[in-house]
Amino acid sequence: MPVVDVVNLEGKKVGQVELADAVFGAKVNQHLLHEASRWYLAGLRRGTHKVKEKSEVSGAGRKLWKQKGTGRARIGSIRSPLWRHGGTVHGPRPRDYSYALPKKILLGALRSALSAKLADQKLTIVDGWQLTSHKTSGLVDALDKLSFSKSALLVSHGENRNLELASRNIEGVKLTAPNGLQPYDVLKHDRVVLSKDAVARLVRSLDPEKKPIEAPHVETIAPAPAAKKEAAPKAAAKKPAAKKPAAKKGKG
């Protein structure tokens, strides 16, 4: 595992941290980086381009002259694409340029980008982003002590209002969260500065060899026996009906 020094905002070493080989020591795959960058840039396109077609340009719909007998070319509308100020054929229409990218490609490209930055010694890990003020000058001084030259990508886990306000007005500096980190941003910026919490978050989400979390074993409890139903009361026995006396036959 690669071992990287941890520094504070003063640029002084305060410890070391071991990075996972699967995340920060992976083999750099140029194809994955190209596909992830192309996908990210396509999603940024607004796609609001629009031209007017024949049915949308200004002009009446009448036929300018009769079909035959004038010696001129046949024409049906002043809005024809062949004419000046006419409509445009097969012009751009509003559309969405974004498309789906497999999650494995994106995660593999992010591992390659982080590994490339570490191999080029352009990855810095800070103990934390404890800024006492939201002033931009304070963050600029801290970045200068962290070897800031051209541009920097700051990765912080959790809400940090002072860091958000101080970083948004510095040219070439971008702040992002670990769950929003993009391979294109890692490659675009000259230096990547991560906090210790952000490193732990990235290792937890990008390590392909991590063990799945098993649910705790819960003993099954046998269901309670069903209550016995009370026997319905028996219907009272019917008494046999009394026999009517037979009618006496009269003498003839």
- Pick from 118, 155, 120, 127: which is nearest to 1 by CA? 118
The torsion angle over the Cα atoms of residues 125, 129, 135 and 139, rounded to 10 degrees, is -10
* Residue 210: per-residue pLDDT: 66
For residues 24 and 17, what is the distance between their CA atoms, to the nearest angstrom?
12
Per-residue DSSP letters for 114-148? HHHHHHTT-EEEES----S---HHHHHHHHHHTT-
pLDDT on residue 61: 85
Going from N- to C-terminal start, the domains of the chain cover 3-25+114-206
pLDDT tens-place string over residues 173-212: 999 999 999 999 999 999 999 999 999 999 998 887 765 4
Stronger pLDDT, 218 or 157, i.e. the higher one: 157
Amino acid 243: pLDDT: 61
Say if residue 148 is exposed, middle or buried (CB neighbours under 10 Å; 0-12, 13-18, 19+). buried
Sequence-distant (≥ 6) Cβ neighbours of residue 79 within 8 angstroms: 54, 55, 57, 58, 59, 61, 86, 87
Angle in degrees, CA 33, 41, 165, rounded to 5: 100
pLDDT at 85 exceeding the cut of 60:
yes
Comparing C-alpha atoms, which of 80, 78, 82 is closest to residue 64? 78
Q: Which residues pair with 18 in a beta bridge?
A: 3
Which CATH topology does 3-25+114-206 take? Ribosomal Protein L4; Chain: A; (3.40.1370)
Q: What pTM was computed for the model? A: 0.72
Q: How far apart are CA 248 and CA 113, in angstroms?
A: 122
Decide if pLDDT at 231 tops 70.
no
- On the question of pLDDT at 239 being above 80, the answer is no
pLDDT score of 150: 84
User: Range with the lowest mean pLDDT among 157-161, 195-199, 207-211, 220-224?
Assistant: 220-224
CB 89, CB 81: distance < 8 Å: yes
- β-bridge mates for residue 192, sequence order: 123, 153
Mean pLDDT of 66-88: 93
Query: Tens digit of pLDDT for each residue in 86-101?
Result: 999 999 999 999 999 9
